[in-house]
Each structure stands twice: as structure tokens, then as C-alpha cells.
Structure 1
Amino acid sequence: MAELRVGEEMRSRTPNRRLNCSFGEPVVNSPGKDEQSLAMPFCGSIRGGMRPGKKITIMGIVAKEADSFDVSLTCGCGDVALELTARFEDRRLLRNAHVSGSWGEEETAITFFPFIAGQPFRLEIHCEHERFRVFVDGQPLLDFYHRVRSLSAIDTVHINGALTLTKLN
């Protein structure tokens, strides 16, 4: 699994966004009943960057009045290798990448929308040679083919939106 480090700040939600990240201690366990959830928005580093065989596991609880949330894998404060945006109003999961100053073609096709307001989820992003494979609650959901070619440069994860983050590995 990818080792992640916690950060304090998150990117703005503009098309020409720039990321501002600061890092703290590693996240290793989910909070217990007396502990608090991880701070949102979340920004953390992926030690050594991504590579085939690495995976990121995100566990959380969707807010009861959820509108959207997003998960992004980025190259520091530059290119966005993968941005997943869950939109509850129209039950869509949007995917895209921002490489060399421009957004690519957005992908939207999924067989089912796996997130339910007020319910917990487990999202896994597996890095393979040619693609990211995304699973929710153990079920394969989608493949996103790499648009950033240097996988090791993908070294930051950002999470923002209508959810409580409980564990990140």
C-alpha cells in the first residue's frame, strides 16, 4: 500500500487550480471511537510516488446531505493524474486528468453509482502499468488509463467534499 503523509491545505476548485500542500505525520490507523476523523480537506504525500502494484485505500462515510466529493492524485502541486468527482444529484462519477496546463476529455461511464448518502464506503485505487483500477466496497467500478506517464511523479493525494474520512492507507 502507498504510505501517505497528512497535509493541511487543499487546492481551489478552479480549472487552472494550483495546489498548496504542507505535510505532517504519517497516517497509519483509522480513528477509534474516542478519536476524531481525519481533517478535511485532506492533502497527503505518497512516499516514493505511484508505481504498478501500489494501491491507495480510502475509507469514509458519505455526508447525509451529500452533494459531491472528489479524490485527486497529483504530481506535487502540478499535474493532476486522476481526479474522481462523485456527484450525488445526478449520480455520476466524473474522471479526468490535467496534464501540461490543460484538462483532458472527461470520462463519465459507470455501470452503477456506488455511494449512498450517510453510508460508509471503501474506495481503492490500484495502480497498474497502463491504468488505475478503481474499486468501491470490493467491487470493480472503473479503469482510468494513465495520461501522466511518469508514475513515480504522482506523489500527492487530495480529498475534499461531503464526507468524513476515517482511514487512509
Structure 2
Amino acid sequence: MAVFAYLLLSVGNEFFDVANVFIRSGGSLAECRDYWQCKRRDQLFRYYIDRYYNTRSEEAEAMSSESLDSCDFAYQDSPTSPSSRSLDKSSATETVYTLEGITEVSPGLSFVISGSILLTCERFSINFMLKNSDLALHFNPRLPQNYIVRNCRVKGVWGKEEVASPLSFNLHRGKQFKIQILVTDEEFLMCVNGRHFNAFKHRLPYKKICTLEVKGDVKDVLVEQVYVECYPDIALDNIQQISKDAFRLEDKSDSNCKIMPYTGQLLESFTNGKSLHIRGRVKLLPHSFYVNLQTNHFWWPHSNVLFHLNPRFGSVGGKHVICRNSWINGKWEREERSENLTDFMPGKLFHLKIACSDMSYQVYLNEMLIAEFIFRGDPRFVKSVYIQGDIKVFDVVLESAY
């Protein structure tokens, strides 16, 4: 009787489909139930696709698979969808803030967008719009995936989206957020919760931006627009100064590592006889990392990088390419590189020392010299240290020989 009661839940051809599954499975009610659930799920999916195309055909034609922000619909509105599937969240397409009185857009204009992320947040977006509704920038954090999409939209057609970033995702449900987006002559620069995140090259004329809108699962949104002379305005780590006699390497766990990317400021000039010590651990699947000795910490205007150290890990053994270069007056100089056997190994601790002599930077790894770089600028102008890549950093200290 239980079998017939279960089969009677189906109607028409579905009765014979379930009966066929029941016979082929040797009388398994579990397989019948799984088949029925899959079939209803497929029907529900087709219902929404049909509903979406019928009600929003113009947007659907313009939509690409690369930017799904415009098709984030909640299916609890369907009269056939089960209540257990309803989502307690707002629509990701709902506009929660609009700024139309945008100051004349030119390089140096900074937008600071702040607010609160809903506990049920799936995604939200910040859009810089032109008069014809084209999007010069679509900034779209997606919390379940832990990445941020950047894209543009021209005449309803989405461009190629960008998702890669060296910065770990730092937006969380139920928390406050603060996002700074700076317009420069070549690109948008983005700072998320006090850390430079990435850049997006202009694909549309930024001077034609007239509206900023915020959509999705956020609230209490505020937008400030102001011209700035430098970017970003972030808190810096003061690099500790120690004497040679006091220098000790202490064991630390991975839980005590610095926030990456790391930006620290030197309180004393990096001159002859001083050494910068970096202690850390190589990640398990490393590609590369780099250390910049810079004149300041700004991304805009771009600081001069007097020494760029960039170890690139080989695929076999302990042989790695060590690249050295400098960025001066808006361009990279001649690159120097060498291929050496080093102690850089996946998952292993390392002690990196950059010593300043009277004419060069000398790089030591675990007390062994692995590279040298002749000065291309006065080392006294080094004020900031920037570290990024596939390592964890525990300590950054400046040792004086005196």
C-alpha cells in the first residue's frame, strides 16, 4: 500500500516514469524518492529560466555568463516552490543607494563607500554609470565565492570580467565595510577595508560618469566624494629598530603572522651598515613573492621602488629564479636575474636579510648570499617596505650595525 500511495503522488507520464524506476531498482523506494526530487528540481529550474526570459527578455539578451549580478532572482516567489527552499535575503538587483550629483570626474577624485553587510548577504555591487546606463565600472563582491568581480557594460553587453587579486577576501556578513575607489588617468584603484585591493583599466571614458549606485544585500550606505593628492590612506606598521647585539630570531606560530600584503614604514634611514630582516614561511604551492624598498607607500602617485626583489619558484628541486629591478620615474629599469639553488622550499621557514653596503644591496637567505643589486638611487630615500606574494611573514625588523 505504501508503494501505491507513493506512486499516486505522480500524475500522467510521471506515474509511469516513477513506476519504471521502481521496477528497475528492484523495488527501492529510496531510488524512487531521489528520482522524484531530481525531476522536481529540474522542473523548478526550467520554470525560473522561462519566467526570467519572459519577464526580462531585454536584460537576458544582454546578460553574459561572466556577470551574473543581473540574474540573481529569488525563487521563493514561485507558487510551486517548496517553502523549505525559500531564501531569507534581499534581491541583489535592488538599488539601495544612488548618487547623481557627481563632481566633475578627473584624476584624483576619490569615492569612499561605507555601510553594513547584511547577515544574509550573497552579493552586492557598486556601479559607476554613464548617461546611457553603460557601466564604466561594476564592482561586485560575491561573498559565497570569496572574490570580487570587476567588469564594465556597454549597450547592455557585459565585457570580460576580472576576478583575480593578490589580496585575500576581507568582506564579511554582518560587518561594516569601507571601500575607496580612486579615479586616475589610466585606471580605477580600489581599497577594501583599509588595504589596497586591485586596479581596473578604463574601458569607457571616465569623464562621462554621472551616477554612482549601490545595489544588493547592504544597508546604511554612505558615499563621500573628495579630491585627494595620494592613495591609499592606510595605517602602516612601524618597523622595529634593533641593535645588532639585541637581534634574535624568535620562533613564532603561523597564527602570529603579519597581514598580507605587508606595508611597513622605516623610522630611520636605510643606509650603509643596516640590514632588513624578514622571517617567514613559504606557502605550500608557491609561485613567487616580492619585496619592495620604496620611497613611500602610495600607489598613486606611484612611489619609486629603489629595489624590487622577486624570487620565482621553480617546478622541480630547489632551483629558483631571483629577479631584481627598480621602478624609477614611472617605468621599470633593466631587469637582473639569476638562477640559483636556494633554501626556499614549500612549507619551510626562511630568514631573508637585505643588507645595505656602501654601493649595493646584498641579499642573504638563511645566512647564505644569493643575490646583489647595485644602487640605482640613494638608499637614504627608502621609507617604506612592501611585501606581497606566496609567503607568510612573521617578523620585519631593521638591524643597525652600531
Q: Give the TM interval when normalised to the shorter protein.
A: 0.7 to 0.9
Q: How does 1:111-126 map to 2 (within 5 A)?
A: 111-126=340-355
Q: What is the TM-score when the length of structure 2 is the normalising length?
A: 0.36
Q: Distance in 2 between matches of 1:51 and 1:11?
A: 31
Alignment of 1:70-81 (within 5 A): 70-76=290-296, 77=298, 78-81=303-306
d(CA) in 1 for partners of 2:199, 2:312: 14
1:119 deviation in Å?
0.4
- Say if 1:11 and 1:83 are closer, same or farther in 2 by CA, change over 3 A: farther
Aligned to 2:270: 50
Q: Sequence identity, in percent?
A: 22
Instruction: Report the more deviating stretch, 109-118 or 131-140.
Output: 109-118
Counting matched residue pairs gives 158
More helix by share: 2
Aligned twin of 1:5: none
Q: Is residue 123–residue 136 contact of structure 1 (8 Å, CA) maintained in 2?
A: yes
Residue 321 of structure 2 is aligned to residue 92 of structure 1: yes
Give every structure 1 segment of 4 or more consecutive aligned residues whose post-TM-superposition deviation is greater than 6 Å: none
- After TM superposition, the score normalised by the length of structure 1 is 0.81
Does 1:63 find its partner at 2:277? no
Structure 1 unpaired stretches of 5+ = 1-7
Kindly state the Cα deviation for residue 27 of structure 1 after the two structures are TM-superposed.
5.1
Is structure 2 residue 256 aligned with structure 1 residue 36? yes
Q: Paired residue for 2:389, among 151, 161, 166?
A: 161
- Give the Cα separation in 2 of the matches to 1:157 and 1:166: 14
| Stretch moving more, 91-100 or 130-139 | 91-100
Query: Which of 1 and 2 has higher RCO (CA within 8 Å, sep 6+)?
Result: 1
Question: How far does residue 46 in structure 1 lie from its aligned partner after superposition?
Answer: 1.0
Cα deviation, residue 9, structure 1: 3.6
Gaps of 5+ in 2: 1-193, 201-229, 241-248, 398-402
Distance across 2 between alignment mates of 1:104 and 1:48: 26
AA aligned to 1:84 is: L
Tell me the C-alpha RMSD between the 2 structures: 2.7
Contact residue 31 and residue 37 of structure 1 kept, 8 A: no
Q: Does 1:22 align with 2:234?
A: yes
CA offset digits 1:137-162 (Å, max 9, x no partner): 000111100101x2221110001111
Change (3 A) 1:74 1:25: closer
Give the counterpart letter for 2:382 in structure 1: I
8 Å CA contact 1:110–1:141 kept in 2: the answer is no
Mapped contact 2:322–2:340 kept (Cα < 8 A): no
1:108 match: 337
Aligned counterparts of 2:363 and 2:346: Cα–Cα separation in 1: 20
Q: 1:10 to 1:70 in 2, by over 3 A?
A: farther
TM-aligned CA distance change 1:106 to 1:167, over 3 Å: same
The CA distance in 1 between the partners of 2:266 and 2:256, in whole Å, is: 22
